[in-house]
Structure 1
Amino acid sequence: MDSDAPEEGNAFWAQKSALEQRYQIILDKVTPHTKERWAFTAVALIIYFIRVVFAQGWYIVTYALGIYLLNLFLAFLQPKFDPSLEMDMEADTVEEGGPVLPTRSDDEFRPFVRRLPEFKFWHSATRSIVIAFFCTLFRVFDIPVFWPILLVYFCILFTLTMKRQIKHMIKYRYIPFNIGKKSYGGGGGGKSFN
């Protein structure tokens, strides 16, 4: 009987590994289809909201989902290397007489690198929506609350957080989107590099 236990454990890990490989293959196949991925996530979020509205419950789960999605969105908007910290380090370097990184618009070009890449943002957002939907299947997660207070609090939190983020973007002059940026390529089927 004891000799069967390691075989069962190995079978479990082999099955787990096979499932992880299948999951990774699916992720690899959907990676280039950005619009379709986000459309799927939007539909999943709409279905989740319909479920919450018609069931009239799980407001705490929805609030937690909203806070988590807001945090993901902020990480998506922020640069990987915080310019405010870089400017502090540059000031210290200037005082010490060391090299200085470019700070003006005519200095060296530095591309915008996100703290949270788009694919990881999509993957985490979709996974959190699926988990939240799964939580709506169990009454134990339906904690009674007065939902308008949660909604107002979330709206205030969203407004203040986005206002702070936009001020940060203006102060350090970075744009996290490709809107309005030049794309290169001819009209004859050339590729754009934006």
Structure 2
Amino acid sequence: METGQPSGTLSGDDLSSLSSTPATTISRWSFAVSRRYQHFLDKTVPHILYRWISCLVVVLIYAIRVYLVQGFYIVTYGLGIYLLNLLIGFLSPQIDPEIHDGPTLPTRGSDEFRPFVRRLPEFKFWYSITKACCIAFVMTFFFVFDVPVFWPILLIYWVMLFFLTMRRQISHMIKYRYVPFSTGKQRYDGKKGPSTETADLSKE
């Protein structure tokens, strides 16, 4: 009677052959790339100014590309509608007071201060814009997306849609008295500010 390995068990050679299959290799490679990519994104979080400068460069490159080829107006129109939706999410509060019951935003100066929480955070807003412009730029190399249209009509329609959407958003901001920007608010950077005694002496 032959003494072999029990049925259903794999030897070391079998395990090594399974671990080196093309599917496993591709899975490991994609996982390593995604980790490196996420690590790169995490490092760019505090660099707000440089991120937005790079985003403007990407938008400018796309605009030059569309101007040179004189086409892909449907792609540009779709990109504009998507960016408009992102802008509305960036300017809107995370909890809409029109939908949820109870006070969610301060309506008087005596109310307790609550920081404005966006429905779409700044980093996701930047990342979505940059990614959308990159995808639209790649689409300009496939002429199947170059649908012939009369672009002034699309431009006028987009401007009207932008005006109506922003007017509704501004009316919502005025009604519930919130400002979706932090310009002028106090920042805590770890440095000690002047004490009250020093401030009083400086006034004398």
For normalisation by structure 1, the TM-score amounts to 0.83
Q: How many residues align?
A: 177
1:115 maps to 119
Shift of 1:178: 1.4
Match status 1:54 vs 2:68:
yes
SS at 1:83's partner residue? Answer: coil
Match status 1:15 vs 2:29:
yes
Match status 1:162 vs 2:166:
yes
Distance of aligned partners of 1:102 and 1:62 in 2 relative to their CA distance in 1, 3 Å threshold: closer
Distance of aligned partners of 1:101 and 1:23 in 2 relative to their CA distance in 1, 3 Å threshold: closer
Match of 2:102 among 75, 84, 90: 90
Contact in 2 for aligned 1:76/1:116 (Cα 8 Å): yes
For normalisation by structure 2, the TM-score amounts to 0.79
Deviation digits for residues 149-188 of structure 1 (CA, Å, limit 9, x no counterpart) = 00000000000000100000010001000123345689xx
1:94 maps to none
CA distance in structure 1 between the partners assigned to 2:25 and 2:71 by the alignment: 40
Contact in 2 for aligned 1:84/1:172 (Cα 8 Å): no
CA distance in structure 1 between the partners assigned to 2:70 and 2:36 by the alignment: 36
Shift of 1:104: 3.7
Match status 1:63 vs 2:63:
no
Distance of aligned partners of 1:74 and 1:102 in 2 relative to their CA distance in 1, 3 Å threshold: closer
Shift of 1:103: 5.2
Match of 2:150 among 136, 146, 149: 146
1:33 maps to 47
Distance of aligned partners of 1:5 and 1:147 in 2 relative to their CA distance in 1, 3 Å threshold: farther
1:177 maps to 181
Letter of the aligned partner of 1:53 in structure 2?
A: Y
Contact in 2 for aligned 1:114/1:176 (Cα 8 Å): yes
Instruction: For structure 2, list consecutive stretches of 5 or more residues without a partner in the other structure.
Output: 1-16, 194-204
CA distance in structure 2 between the partners assigned to 1:144 and 1:125 by the alignment: 25
SS at 1:84's partner residue? Answer: coil
CA distance in structure 1 between the partners assigned to 2:72 and 2:28 by the alignment: 37
SS at 1:144's partner residue? Answer: coil
Contact in 2 for aligned 1:90/1:101 (Cα 8 Å): no
Deviation digits for residues 45-81 of structure 1 (CA, Å, limit 9, x no counterpart) = 0110111011100000000100111101110000000
